[in-house]
Structure 1
Amino acid sequence: MKTILKQLGIFSFAVSMMFGITYLLTGDRFMPFIPSEHFYAVAHTAEEQQRVSGHYVYETYAVNTAGKKQFLAFQTERPLPEGTYVKLYVKGNYIKLIQETTAESIPSTMRNSLH
């Protein structure tokens, strides 16, 4: 009985270490228990756009389908025109995908909270 508990403890420790190391190395990108969310945002230019290592960095508030506002930063390879609507696929702190979208494709309640 003691050996089974000892083996179970070692196994639990190993699994915990594996998840911990994965999180430290990759953030929450590959964590299976963190859900993905869709956020909508408006890309702004001027002081919010900076040229860093060949990418354009945007920092803006985005809103998800539940109406939750969150400050997000994302990068693009080319500059986005002022007022471009984007759909962001977010998992924890990692932005998986950025898609340009139209204002009409965003629900009106969410669109109003973007400005």
Structure 2
Amino acid sequence: MTAKEYLQNTTAKLNESGIEDVNTTLHFDFGSETYTMHVAAGKAELKDGFEGNAECVIKANEADFVKIATGDMNPMMAMMMGKLKISNPGAMMKYAKMLGLM
């Protein structure tokens, strides 16, 4: 699985769940690939590249992100080791469960 496939699957799952009260933009930076996830009005959308102002930027290399997403790497340990960088940890705590990262 690639990071993009994980994000696409997550976006599809979000559109089937109750996210009516969520309104945010998240940026994912995997080095050579970047993505924007917009969540608003009960709908989630993933786009290539950065669009708009993000409430939170998640930065990691793709392989480490996939390990975190699949449960093979603890997100807190990844942050402590510098393998995962979060621009707004408080906001990320709100959305980590929604994204399947916790």
TM-score normalised over the length of structure 1: 0.25
TM-score normalised over the length of structure 2: 0.27
Q: Which has the higher strand share?
A: 1
In our comparison, the structure showing a higher alpha carbon Rg is 1
